[in-house]
Structure 1
Amino acid sequence: MSDGETARSAATGTAPERAAGAPALPQEALEIAAGYAFAGPALDLGALVWDGSCLPDAQIRVPLPMLNRHGLVAGATGTGKTKTLQLIAEQLSEQGVPVFLADVKGDVSGVAAPGEPGAKVGERAGEVGQEWTPGGCPAEFYALGGLGHGVPVRATVTSFGPVLLSKVLELNRTQEQSLGLIFHYADQKGLELVDLKDLRAVVAFLVSDEGRQELKGIGGLSTATAGVILRSLTAFEAQGMSPFFGEPEFDTGELTRTAPDGRGVVSVLELPAVQDKPRLFSTFLMWMLADLFHDLPEVGDAEKPKLVFFFDEAHLLFADASKAFLESITQTVRLIRSKGVGVFFVTQTPKDVPADVLAQLGNRVQHALRAFTPDDQKALKATVKTFPDSPYDLEEVLMGLGTGEAVVTVLSERGAPTPVAVTRLRAPRSLMGPLDAGALDRAVEESPAYGRYAQAVDRESAYEKLTAASAPSPASAPPPASAPAPKTEAPAGRSGGHDRPKAPKEEPSMVEQVVGSGMFTSLARSVGTQLGREITRSLFGTARRRR
């Protein structure tokens, strides 16, 4: 008997290992279980449920190499989606695969601690044939802008880019294009946008008398549009958003680390402190994904993923998104698979995810749905249509699933969809609840990443350069090497922007002073200011410098 046949017979209960005297599985259950009998490494999801009975001999699994083919975890609130993420994350970590989890409600941090045995855990383990032992994962905790418990995660405005920022600011298509023009100008002139005040300074300059001419040849920036952008930025800052933008910028390469014992690190982004800002955190998650896409090399089909990224509250990313934005998401999801990254979108129904993106999600774990309204009923019917044909009445099944149960279909080792299986899921081995605040703070402060990212840095950037050029003062004046030459020594022409005749009619423009100054030349030699030569932008307009 071949290895594949042995694995298949063991999963379907026909192998000698099957307990003596145990009842034979129904033929339909045998056929479903055979579709999940994989010869290679796989994650154990749970046991097949057939005709109301849980069949521990029919194990439902997902092949490890197929985790980079993306997936969907969906279901109504309270149906067990979070525990499913935890179950998958801890098994990936054990297999040496790093994981990223967005913790919206604050109850995923327990993945770092061993679980607590109890009657419910024991009962579930017995039902699904699981040998349950407690165990935690190596974990890092992050927080957007340092708001909440976690190592601060920041991005510069320059790297965040105009497309994602437009979505956060809720700009329309015309305003988004104008913001793109502003970013283009800043990129070309070396005016790095580190934080929001830098962007405000550049926008204000480009509608000033001196700055208006700078964009005249490439379309210009209307005062009305600039006003909308500035008002949006003001409202954005008033909501406490400034801490998310700045330096040191988070290196998404941190997400692909493994622990010294070979297990994958589980990176948990703690979001409870910003859960009232859903558009912001969903867009920040997309920035992380776009940044990974930009930096990681091509690996093709690997034995296991380099990273599995769980994108929680996914419907927020797609709500009111432009066609171009959706096309960028689709292309990123399609191409990042070859870089070894698997993406799981987590939401309530497949209907929340656009069809072109949904078509890329080969692994599905669908928890229960509720149909209390006509719209709920439509969503239920639409969900059923996303699954392959099966012997189940899926409309009835999806409304009757209990907590910790789901309808599953994944990609087999050959890349073909497996049969639809109603599954009672295993219990996570880690703590099913949050760590206490003290333990979480200790874990954060002991992290090597804390020293790299904890302290915000406000270095010289576009705001300081434009301010210094327009209103020099003793505190902000450039160093002596860039100071204006005395009038008696000033030649008729200008040389490198150092010589500035005092006559107003010959005064260079503000940007000419900035770009041509010795201060700018010196700053351009430092790390992170050579944007004019090194900046590149990805599908989402995100920018990365060479590391």
Structure 2
Amino acid sequence: MLEPIALGRNSQTEVVLQPKLANRHGCITGATGTGKTVTLQLMAQAFSNIGTPVFLADVKGDLSGISQAAALSPGLQKRLDKLGLPEPEWGGCPTVFWDVFGEKGHPVRATISDMGPLLLARVMNLNDTQTGILNICFKLADDEGLLLLDLKDLRSMLQFVADNARDLRPTYGNISPASVGAIQRSLLELEVQGADQFFGEPMLDIFDLMRTNAQGKGMVNILAADKLMQSPRLYGVFLLWLLAELFDNLPEVGDPEQPKFVFFFDEAHLLFDNAPKALLERIEMVVRLIRSKGVGVYFITQNPLDIPETV
């Protein structure tokens, strides 16, 4: 049986997490300066040490240090002496950096078809009518055996739907030129934000995140998200897409001795702010059922009320 992961300690009590229960999910919450980032780093390193790969988003640019060995300082020595703890074994974690824009890490890509209309409508902030037309584009592509790889493919499909609205109406329903135009403008806005670098091939193989090094330590996958955070909806939907990919591709494992993968969702409120009911239902389903795939999900936010009760 694996040793429990120590999360905190004072002179009377120690708080630990049993690895066997780590796929039950959790929430790291607190105001600025209360130690959310340190707790996240501690947990990530502990999971890595027992051979569990980890994914986390570096929103503020302060997580990359986990790849380097630390050193003892007078303040830390005083704290160790106060709690009666031995000096830790210093060492960095095996780390891989990822970046949607390919600037600070390996590029991450997904196809339009794989993202799906529900998540894409969330990114573009479409209303119900516009979402319906987006669904028509995806259904038409499926019916014709076409893959939508990037924003250019989706724009071409929208143009085809608009040009052939009269012929498509009996099968797919009414198609408003104004709604098509609104979607085209949203696509242009996405492109200006750099999303054209995210949509396309080669698509990320989710199992590239679930590796260990030669010593059996789990890889710590860090997403450079400082630039991505300038597009909050794209950030939230991208992380949800990753979570959904894990759910769709991993086999059922029940309750293993330790999680197969741990996913830290920083700034979690960005996923739930003004989210439509269909998206919330999708999130709830994935989070509830992904536990049986051996995946632990931890939301990080300042206020626990940011996370819906159903999730």
Bucket of the pairwise TM-score, normalised by the shorter protein:
over 0.9
**Deviation at 1:99?**
0.6
Q: 2:2, 2:51 → 1: CA distance?
A: 15
State the Cα RMSD in Å: 1.5
Aligned pairs for 1:347-366 within 5 A: 347-357=301-311
* Structure-1 residue corresponding to 2:296: 342
Contact conserved, 2:124 with 2:187, CA < 8 A, in 1?
yes
Q: How many residues align?
A: 310
* Structure-2 residue corresponding to 1:407: none
1:80 corresponds, among 30, 35, 49, to 35
**Deviation at 1:197?**
0.8
Q: 1:178, 1:129 → 2: CA distance?
A: 63
**Deviation at 1:128?**
3.2
3-state SS, counterpart of residue 305 of structure 1: coil
* Structure-1 residue corresponding to 2:115: 160
Residue identity in the other structure for 1:276:
Q
Residue identity in the other structure for 1:105:
K
2:235 corresponds, among 281, 288, 294, to 281
* Structure-2 residue corresponding to 1:401: none
Contact conserved, 2:193 with 2:231, CA < 8 A, in 1?
no
3-state SS, counterpart of residue 93 of structure 2: coil
Q: 1:336, 1:81 → 2: CA distance?
A: 24
**Deviation at 1:215?**
4.8
3-state SS, counterpart of residue 114 of structure 1: coil
Contact conserved, 1:98 with 1:306, CA < 8 A, in 2?
yes
Q: 1:90, 1:255 → 2: CA distance?
A: 15
1:295 corresponds, among 249, 261, 268, to 249
Q: 1:199, 1:212 → 2: CA distance?
A: 20
Contact conserved, 1:144 with 1:154, CA < 8 A, in 2?
yes
* Structure-1 residue corresponding to 2:65: 110
* Structure-2 residue corresponding to 1:141: 97
Aligned pairs for 1:421-440 within 5 A: none
Call closer, same or farther: CA 1:112–1:176 in 2, change over 3 Å: same
**Deviation at 1:259?**
1.1
Contact conserved, 1:69 with 1:342, CA < 8 A, in 2?
yes
3-state SS, counterpart of residue 44 of structure 1: strand
Contact conserved, 1:93 with 1:265, CA < 8 A, in 2?
yes
Q: 1:156, 1:90 → 2: CA distance?
A: 32
Contact conserved, 1:206 with 1:215, CA < 8 A, in 2?
no
Q: Does 1:130 align with 2:85?
A: yes
* Structure-2 residue corresponding to 1:318: 272
Call closer, same or farther: CA 1:62–1:205 in 2, change over 3 Å: same
TM, length-normalised to structure 2:
0.96
Q: 2:285, 2:209 → 1: CA distance?
A: 21
Unmatched runs of 5 consecutive residues or more in structure 1: 1-38, 49-53, 358-547
1:255 corresponds, among 209, 218, 234, to 209
Q: 1:159, 1:215 → 2: CA distance?
A: 26
Contact conserved, 1:206 with 1:212, CA < 8 A, in 2?
no
Call closer, same or farther: CA 1:323–1:170 in 2, change over 3 Å: same
2:129 corresponds, among 174, 194, 198, to 174
Contact conserved, 2:254 with 2:293, CA < 8 A, in 1?
yes
Higher helix share: 2
Q: Does 1:99 align with 2:61?
A: no
| Structure number with bigger Rg | 1
Q: 1:317, 1:113 → 2: CA distance?
A: 31
Tell me the alpha carbon deviations over residues 467-510 of structure 1, each in whole angstroms, 9 at most, x when there is no partner.
xxxxxxxxxxxxxxxxxxxxxxxxxxxxxxxxxxxxxxxxxxxx
Identity between Structure 1 and Structure 2 (%): 48
* Structure-2 residue corresponding to 1:199: 154
* Structure-2 residue corresponding to 1:463: none
Higher RCO by CA contacts (8 Å cutoff, separation 6 or greater):
2
**Deviation at 1:212?**
4.1
Call closer, same or farther: CA 1:220–1:191 in 2, change over 3 Å: farther
**Deviation at 1:40?**
5.5
**Deviation at 1:188?**
1.9
Tell me the alpha carbon deviations over residues 25-78 of structure 1, each in whole angstroms, 9 at most, x when there is no partner.
xxxxxxxxxxxxxx8531011214xxxxx33xx322110111100000011122
Residue identity in the other structure for 1:263:
K
Q: 2:285, 2:84 → 1: CA distance?
A: 40
Residue identity in the other structure for 1:47:
R
* Structure-1 residue corresponding to 2:75: 120
Residue identity in the other structure for 1:194:
L
3-state SS, counterpart of residue 163 of structure 2: coil
Q: 2:301, 2:81 → 1: CA distance?
A: 29
* Structure-1 residue corresponding to 2:183: 229
Q: Does 1:309 align with 2:263?
A: yes
* Structure-2 residue corresponding to 1:412: none
Residue identity in the other structure for 2:16:
R
Q: 2:19, 2:68 → 1: CA distance?
A: 24
Contact conserved, 1:154 with 1:243, CA < 8 A, in 2?
yes
Residue identity in the other structure for 2:9:
A
Q: 1:312, 1:288 → 2: CA distance?
A: 14
Contact conserved, 1:113 with 1:137, CA < 8 A, in 2?
yes
Q: Does 1:208 align with 2:170?
A: no
Q: 1:179, 1:84 → 2: CA distance?
A: 41
Residue identity in the other structure for 2:203:
E
Contact conserved, 1:103 with 1:270, CA < 8 A, in 2?
yes
Q: 1:101, 1:338 → 2: CA distance?
A: 21
Residue identity in the other structure for 1:43:
I
